[in-house]
Amino acid sequence: MPYIEIVEPEDANDELKGIYRSLTSSRGKIAEVHKIQSLNPPTIPAHMELYTRIMFSRSPLSRAERELLGVIVSRTNGCVYCVQHHLEALAHFTGQDRARELARDGVATSGLSSREALLCGYAEALTTKPQDFGDSWSKRMRQQGLSDREILDATLVVGYFNFVNRLVIGLGVELEDDPGGYSYD
């Protein structure tokens, strides 16, 4: 149960009802992470704008790579809600078996490409020790062929998931009974 009050769609005022309708139209349904922000409705579309810009806009990182980064950050932070939601999205792009393997075995034994492993290591390091972060990772990523734009986009994904993990964990957002079924493309 959430740690704060939420407003369900049937109890929403006109402003919030419109936001909920828009979410249902664009994403397929309303997630609990959206409802947790219902006491401050303008934050929901702002949050969604940030999310869609980082996760869905053109990027040299594939959608699968961005979802993988989200899963790694969320797993590192212990955010079960986000791990489950983004494993569903990762499965959409890579197949159920690959996503299940990652969830079960973690990064070390999941047969990741060297690029994927590098991105995962970056996400884990930036999540766990941001105060110790210097330019060594950027240099290492460039040496492995990643562009500055790819490094920026990876950092945006890592930063976003650290933000949303804290929102979810800090406010007690619970996983829906059916966490899948969203529009991933």
pLDDT per residue as tens digits for the range 47-63? 999 999 999 999 999 99
Question: Domain locations in the chain?
Answer: 63-171
- CATH number of this structure's domain 63-171, picked from the four choices 3.90.1200.10, 1.20.1290.10, 3.30.950.10, 1.10.10.10: 1.20.1290.10
Per residue in 132-153, pLDDT (tens digit) is 877 889 999 999 999 999 999 9
Closest by alpha carbon to 66, among 37, 89, 100, 99? Answer: 89
Yes or no: say if 119 and 151 are a contact pair by the CB < 8 Å rule: no
Question: What span, in angstroms and rounded, lies between the C-alpha atoms of 66 and 89?
Answer: 10
Backbone phi, psi, residue 54, to 5°: -75, -40
Task: Tell me how far apart the alpha carbons of residues 93 and 58 are, in angstroms, rounded to a whole number.
Answer: 16
pLDDT of residue 1: 86
State residue 112's pLDDT score. Answer: 81
Which H or E run contains 74? helix 63-77
pLDDT tens profile 13-49? 999 999 999 999 888 889 999 999 999 999 999 999 9
Per-residue DSSP letter, 6:
-
Q: Which two tokens mark 108?
A: 């070390």
**What are 159-178's pLDDT values in tens digits?**
999 999 999 999 999 988 77
Q: Which residue has the higher pLDDT, 181 or 69?
A: 69
Token couple for 162:
């650290």
